[in-house]
Amino acid sequence: MRDEYTRTIEPARALAAETLKLERTLSEHVNQAYALTPSEIALMWQTAPPRMPIPSPGVKEPPPPANDPALGEHCQKTGNAPLLTPSAKPGRMGPQ
C-alpha cells in the first residue's frame, strides 16, 4: 500500500499544486488585463461563489475533497456550505 501511495498519490499532489500555481498566475494576469484595482479584486473575492476553482489569495491550502471527514471542519472555518441541503430555499445558496 505504501508503494502504491508513493507511485500515485504523491505525484498527483505535486500535479495539483502545480495546477493551482498556474491557475493563480492566470487569475493574476486576467486581473492585470482588466486593470482591476486592489479594492476591485477584494470585492470580487468577497462576492465570489463558494465553489470557486481556486481559493482566494489569502488561503494557503485548497479545501479537502468532498469525501474527506475534514470537510466539515473546513466549512466551519470558512463559513461555506459543502453542498446545498434539501432545506435550502430556492434562489439561495449556502447554509439555511
> What confidence tens digit (pLDDT) does each residue in 55-90 have?
887 766 555 555 555 555 555 566 555 444 444 444
Distance CA 75, CA 63 (A): 9
Q: Compute the half-sphere exposure of residue 9: CA atoms within 13 Å on the CB side of its CA.
A: 6
> What confidence tens digit (pLDDT) does each residue in 15-49 have?
999 999 999 999 999 999 999 999 999 999 999 88
- Band (pLDDT 50/70/90 cuts) for residue 4 is confident
